[in-house]
Amino acid sequence: MIFAVGLVIAFVILLVFNMKNRDRRQCRWREYRKGDTSQWRCIHCGATTDGPAGEAPKLCFQPRS
């Protein structure tokens, strides 16, 4: 019984920590330079955004379904 309660508590804790990082998801950004700015493209979800050179985006820009 104690094992089952501990398992449920561990699962809830994992869910809470996973929601905190939900905006980033599994994005892996690749940089394509264009002069002073860069176009960033996520190879995981396909999202694209423009930004400063050398600074990868911190959020996932994939449209939510």
pLDDT one-digit tens code per residue, 10-63: 988 887 776 555 555 577 889 998 877 889 888 887 888 888 888 888 777 766
User: What's the whole-model pTM score?
Assistant: 0.54
User: Order of strands, edge to edge, in the sheet holding 37-42?
Assistant: 29-34, 37-42, 48-52
pLDDT for position 56 = 84
DSSP string for 3-65: HHHHHHHHHHHHHHHHHHTTTTTT--EEEEEETTEEEEEETTT--EEEEETT---SS--PPP-
